[in-house]
Structure 1
Amino acid sequence: MQLARRHLLDHGACLPSALNDRLARSWQRSLHAGLPPFGGRELAEPVGGLSLSQSLEQNAQMLSFARPVMDFMYGQIRGGDCMVVLADVDSMLLHTVGDHGFLTKAQRVELRTGASWRESVRGTNAIGTAIEDASALQVRAGEHYLERNGFLHCSAAPIFTAQGAVAGAIDISGDERASHMHALGLASSAARLIENNWLKARYRDAVRVHLHSAAEGLDTPAEGIVVLSESGTLLGANQEAIRALRLAPHDFFALQLETRLQERLAHLLARTGREPHTVRLPDGRRMFLRVERPTQRTPSRAVVPEAHEPRLDALAASDTGDTQWRRAAQQVRRILDKPIALLIQGESGVGKEVFARACHDSGPRRGRPFVAVNCAAIPESLIEAELFGYAPGAYTGAQKGGSLGRIREAEGGTLFLDEIGDMPLLLQTRLLRVLQEKKVTPLGGTPVPVDFALVSATHCVLADAVAEGRFRSDLYYRLNGFSVKLPALREREDFDALATRMLAQWDDGGVRIAPDLLAALRGYAWPGNLRQLASVLQTACALRDPAHEPAIDWPHLASDLRDALASPAARVQPAGKAAETRAISVGQANAAPEAAPPAALRKIAHQAIAQALADGGGNVSEAARRLGISRQTIYRHLKKADAEA
């Protein structure tokens, strides 16, 4: 395959007969992404901490059904110098299980939790390419685009949601010298099993139709499963049913299933619990059906949506009961299928990126790339190359093969620009040109057409930045096609539900929070918002002894937080009155002198920054990431603290 790689670099096309058509197309995409197949190009480190926790939370349902299947799969191949991998829709690895010796080998190429194996980052590989193509794939040894991955033999199958969008992939990877004859079939069967169990659990209160072309095929992994409302509206289906009934994405939450099955709904429901019967599809094919209904139906917004909220989507899955958050989600749903830029406002740490990702996963571009760029975390000298990419040899020190740039990585999907208010003015001008012309010009290159949905977020008031000359007014109006504001944690009505959901990430044993501590946490000002709460709960879970301590309690908190919780100045009134007496957040502590916060609250903000700096080993960028604020905010706080000292 060395010759094939050289031929690709020299001629821009794959060597005939070296690869099958699908792999050849993937190699060419990898080359177009600026990836050199040879050499030791540095790759992004796997993410961890809060970023990984957020990904695990976003994929909690898929994970819960995938883990037991992965354990079963590994039991079949244990000792074969291999591993089983679960990845999300962005090809980030969420969970792995495998032989210790091979796991060690796999770490050499970052085949481990938190790493991205997206095709545009790692070249042709089973996980990233299966997700890119939405189809099962085997990539053997030298068929990997990057030479360094040539010791791998990988088989991956995509996992689909109930509405046919790619949710992730399950993969079997092993040493290329070992035998993996049935790996692709095993991975495909595992993906179908995960999908079926996930579908049935998510719609446990819905009418369920099982179908197959043969009566013996019912109750097997090869059966099709369709779920529908009591009125007969199609809610979801597995891949077998989507293929058998030739369903399209726009059919979900709109199609009356009786039109596709050519049988009246009343007749269909009357057969609940009976022996399978047959129907004729419009094209003349015969299908065997069995209908199941819940024994006791409980009204549920997760199964039968309200008329004004027609989609059961990622936004709905993120809804934990807060009125302000729900109103923002309902408003955004109306523009997701329109070319309208979305601007998300809110204090640092309120979950703007999580909300943006849920918007992406709920819209027509779900299953395509979601590329997040923190404009405040990239050094100003590098942000231009990071966003727009560069041609090979564009400048001294540039990667030999050039770089695609984050904007082009978002092709067909969503570009999320976080902390857009911190973008330098020169870059604002270039970004505006991209939005106007729908083309991006890499450094040293020529214009390339781009297509993406744009979502931006900021913790500052952009209108004020425009008035002060720090932000271009024309770019502001481009970004602000539609704006929503997410509530601060102290303003939300769903604190208990949020805490419960977060705890489930780090403790699956149903751990609770002691009542008096929960009341104190509920009334705290939370200067770091959701990010701070997640950090506090994760640490508390780690400190709790599961054998002797049934609940998280005061001893499991850091001393500075215990002191803050005991301070009356750090408490806020219940949601609903929060607008009247709002506590200060880390981001707000930069207000003008006439709006300066009480000294006690300013001290809390300083303590939060000091703790984040300590946890990050003094690294300001890492501290900013942990708190969800910009580095400039930290520097201003440190300067103010020195002045006060």
Structure 2
Amino acid sequence: MPTPLPALTLRQARLHLQEYGHCPSGIINERLLRSWQRSLAAGLQPVGGLRQTEHASGDELRQVLERNHELLSYSRPVMEYLFESVRDSQSVVVLADNRGTLMHTLGDAGFLNKAERVALASGASWHEDHRGTNAIGTALAETSEVEIHGAEHFLEHNGFLTCAAAPIMAADGSLMGILDISGDRHSGHPHTLNLVSMAVRMIENRLIVAGSKRQIRLHFHVHPEGIGTIAEAIVVLSEDGWIIGANRAALGLLHLGAHDLGAVQITSVLNVRLEHLLSQQNARAPQTITVHSHDGTRLAMQVHLDHSVLPAVSRRSTEAVATPYAAEDALSLLDSGDLRWRSAAEKTRRILDKPIPLIIQGESGVGKEFFAKAAHDSGPRCNGPFVAINCAAIPENLIEAELFGYQPGAFTGARREGSLGRLREANGGTLFLDEIGDMPLPMQSRLLRVLQERSVTPLGGGKTVAVDFALICATHCKLREQAEQGKFRYDLYYRINGLTVQLPALRERSDFQALTTQILRSLSPQQELHLKPGLLAQLAAHPWPGNLRQYSSVLRTAIAMLNPDETGIELAHLSDDIVEDLMLSAAANQAINPAVNPAMNATVNTAINQAINQTGATLPITQNLEQLSRKAIELALNSSRGNISQAARSLGISRQTLYRKINH
């Protein structure tokens, strides 16, 4: 529990908020300020007589209890256990529903009378609209753990309390209720909120198990011994493998949010097929198996499934295998597990048999042309030509002839037999225009005419020829912004912008380990290569401004450095400039934001020493922290192409801090 501010300071801040509509900056945290503002908006006044507050009648309370029967049933035993931990501490343990109505309380006899005088009893509403800032109401509003101490309460009438509350979430991500410990502010303990949070995890785990007995349920942890403990992760699956429920531990391990429930399949986050999971199910004694998440995390797992629903599950699984997306098309062969990449692929699949153009956005080197070729190979035009044109690589004076073709003798230097042009070459297949944002404006006009009329007239005259092709464009820039700046035609933008997908940069991808394995396999199919764990972590933390193109080149060089009997790539196998970049990047990030990981200093120093010993590279280890800080900012800004917010996130600091360091 952080050291609370003096009551006088908090009172003055509240008065300032009432009078001027804002608090002096830096006095209270943002969450408390939001709560005070909501309390004011509800018409509450910190001082003075209390207005009539909400309290459920006998019938209303009975309805609340009936509606929350399951929550009460699984919460009461945990509350009793929790109360034993705080007995004789002038405290009360409280369970509220998802509207802030108190349903059940356990407390010290000496404190209960005092608590009841502020309506801390069953039937009372502790919603912020009725009681102002308080742990129960504020936890409801923020959907997060909250601790409110003494004068932080908006109503001074409640200032004698210290309260810690945490929301109880259902398996589907909805809010079920709030568990709270309230006590005398003089007896507050720094571990109270942790106690409440652990109790909530116990309740949530029991509820998710009780509510999913006729569904597929996965229990997992990074350690086999963690299964069955309060720390275990639990996922609930539909019959065809969609994640429809999960506890917080599972969401954290799988890098998912509550909004992903019902929208993500288990195969999107684990390197395992549903049929394999079902084959491991054993009702008498669940077997512990090993699976891997797409970020490479090794997980111990048990599968639970009621045998009465196994036939239906097996039937749905068979049907799922027969769906078009389950087949291994060219896009799926590139898929190594990143959810953003997979989302782009799934959206693309839906338009491949429709006359809808595709724009692929992404930084240079993220694999836009690979994605475009895979989209072509996955669609109905896969037997037709795939014609790729880099609009930034063709000289401006030649691009018209390259695209539209020309008649014999159309211009000086033209081939005697003339040229079909790339647009006619793409007939019956796919035309891929890479870096279309760099196409000259006059050519944009001619391309627009082709797309409108679906015909091409070669340079030098001649017969107009009809063309039929699917159109895929790619760009590293935002075409809408280019159009707003007059650098790209709006009418062409609207013509080519059927579906736009964004491919993530390498530093943003969650599948770095799986992607590395995939690249190594393609570069060296004859032997199974791998990166040593320490090096993998360093490479994953690198910003990679050249993305996959740069990373593949680095791995290709490292493979060339291997001895015939070696299969593990180490730091010594990398080019000296990459070693220097890795060490400098790690040291610089630690210099600019040492709070991210206090143990990093030792790790960086060890890595630098290893690099010197293994490679003999001369590294700038004598640079002071200010120089390293400037270097970190330079690397982050280059990697984010000047995007301040993105650079700040990569450095683990706020935008304001980054602006301050830039201007320093």
Indicate the structure with greater helix content: 2
Q: What TM-score, normalized to structure 2?
A: 0.43
Q: What TM-score, normalized to structure 1?
A: 0.44
Larger radius of gyration between Structure 1 and Structure 2? 2
Bigger relative CO (Cα 8 Å, ≥ 6 apart): 1
